[in-house]
Amino acid sequence: MNKKNNRQIIAIGGGGFGRDPNHRKIEQYIIDQAHNDNPSVLFLPTASAEDKIYIDNYYECFGALSCKPTHISFFSRTPRLNGLFNKADIIYVGGGNTKSMLAVWREWKVDILLRRAYERGVVMAGVSAGAICWFTQGITDSWASNLNTLDCLGFLDGMCCPHYLEESDRKPTVHKMLQDGKAMKGYGIDGGSAVHFINEKFERSISFYPERKAYFIEKDNSIKEKELPHIVL
């Protein structure tokens, strides 16, 4: 398989360097999907309002791997974006407030730059907000009151809900939204697991914390939930 000609997205349900920068299993997996050695990794911490500790954790984690990490800030002087996106082999999107992140991105036309990068084979990855952003629809806690659906970038068809089992309100909310016709069929990805798509098709799910898995959920006559085949890191 020629990785350079493939479009790849790795959607992570939760966990990774934001919780423990020394736990690098999923990050190493992402690095391994790049089409060259020592790839350039571009981090977008927009959803966290560019939290300093989060960014420090990113550099601590990826700085210990065979790659060249950098990041973009939209809340200080922002560099010319085309050059940074053109140099990236991997783009990693951090967690936080998805709705606010997408608003900032659209103002800076990052959605267009991401689409161009994706089409030329840059590996796309992200956790939580950085997982759901790639789908047509996300289940988000961007509002303080309750979980809501949110229209996202649409690189992948369907719905994505991160933290699917590790946050107790997620699964029943997704099931009710499907039952009521408010949510599309799609993926529930638990913290400590991820789903890898190649050319917009499911490739595998990945468990990088013990017993953490991902699921495909849809409505037929009833709600059907299927555990996805996975590898363990």
**Pairing outcome for strands 214-219 and 186-189:** antiparallel
Residue 115's identity, in one-letter code, is R
Active site residue 163: yes
Cβ atoms of residues 80 and 53 within 8 Å: no
Active site residue 196: no
Cβ atoms of residues 26 and 15 within 8 Å: yes
Conformational region of residue 27, where left means phi above 0, alpha means psi within -120 to 50, and beta covers everything else:
alpha
Tell me which of 128, 142, 193, 207 is the catalytic residue.
128
Cβ atoms of residues 97 and 129 within 8 Å: yes
Q: What would you measure as the largest C-alpha separation in the chain, in angstroms?
A: 53
Q: What are phi and psi of 101, to 5 degrees?
A: -60, -50
Tell me which of 163, 193, 205, 230 is the catalytic residue.
163
Q: Which residues are catalytic?
A: 128, 163
